[in-house]
Homo-oligomer: A and B are copies of this chain.
Amino acid sequence: MEQKRSDIIANQIEELIFDGTFGDEYRLDEVQLADRFAVSRTPVREALLRLAQSGLVEHRPRRGVFVKQPGPIALMEMFEVMAELEATAARFAAHRITDEAIGELKDANQRCNTAVEAQDTEKYYRENEQFHAILYRESGNGFLEQECLRLQRRLQPFRRTQLRLRGRLKQSMKEHEQIVLALENGDAVQASDAVRAHVAVQGEKFHHLMASLKTAAA
């Protein structure tokens, strides 16, 4: 067995929360989930514990665990922190990055570009993630890298939504190129600022998107 069943289950439940099958405040019933995944309550409980730790669900003692979708404020806060973490990674990377890694970034960017032209948002999304992952790695700080990846994963579904906005992809590509340029020049301040803006704008776009949905619904 490559991994425990509870890990697999945790990922599956995560997916179900992300895609909206389990909405906000939905109570995750242990026996129901155990039934769904054809296992006993034990691995389900372990999975739920993991999700509670990562903040995706809330654990109310003797009551159960409930889906805790972040509200617009929490989301903005998370994007704000993400922007700062990535900006830090970029600042560190500006001093430490190798020519080879610059090449990797350019390659990833290239793949992003082809995805944009093929209108393959799914592919763009993956390659975009890859681009950022390289940046984290090149910060030269393994702990920072892990923290960035963790938060990236957490924000994944919301970033996804936001990318569908018209014209955002092309703009995003330009920003990537600016980031690479700053890194190439070893300009820590510019790299940092470019990355911060690039990430922060996603939070803002998301916010606008939410607001427009809200007014449309009202």
Interface set of A (CB-CB < 8 Å, partner B): 1, 3-4, 45-46, 49-50, 53-54, 61-62, 73-74, 77-78, 80-81, 84-85, 88, 141-144, 147
A81 touches B141 (CB 8 A): yes
> Which of B1, B62, B77 meets A141, CB within 8 Å?
B77
Shortest CB–CB separation between residue A214 and chain B, in angstroms?
Answer: 21
Q: Which residues of B contact A84 (CB under 8 A)?
A: 84-85, 88, 144
- By beta carbon, the residue of chain B nearest A83 is B88
Within the complex, what minimum Cβ distance (angstroms) separates A100 from chain B?
22
Q: Give me 7 other A-B pairs in contact (C-beta within 8 A), A3-B61, A78-B143 excluded.
A: A1-B62, A46-B46, A53-B53, A74-B143, A80-B143, A84-B88, A84-B144
Beyond A3-B61, A53-B54, whether A77 also contacts B142 by CB under 8 A is yes
B142 and A4 contacting across the interface, CB-CB below 8 Å: no
- 15 A-B pairs within 8 Å (CB atoms) are namely A1-B62, A3-B61, A49-B50, A50-B53, A73-B142, A74-B142, A74-B143, A77-B141, A77-B143, A81-B88, A81-B141, A81-B143, A81-B147, A84-B84, A84-B85
- Taking each of A4, A54, A73, A88, which has the highest tally of chain B beta carbons within 10 Å of its own beta carbon? A88
**8 residue pairs, one from A and one from B, having the closest CB atoms:** A77-B143, A53-B53, A84-B88, A77-B141, A81-B144, A78-B143, A81-B143, A49-B49
Q: Return A80 CB to nearest CB of chain B, in Å.
A: 6
Q: Which residues of B contact A46 (CB under 8 A)?
A: 45-46, 49
Q: Is the CB of A144 within 8 A of B4?
A: no
Residues of B within 8 A of A45 (CB): 46
Would B50 and A141 count as touching, CB distance under 8 A? no
Chain B, residue nearest A54 (CB): B53
Which residues does chain B contribute within 8 Å of A142, judged by CB atoms?
Answer: 73-74, 77
Bound form: Cα–Cα A80–B145 in Å: 12
- In the bound complex, residues from chain B placing their C-beta under 8 Å from that of A78 are 143
Give complex CA distance A1, B60 in Å.
12
**How far, in angstroms, from A155 to B80 measured CA to CA in the complex?**
23
Query: Which residue in chain B gives the minimum CB-CB distance to A53?
Result: B53
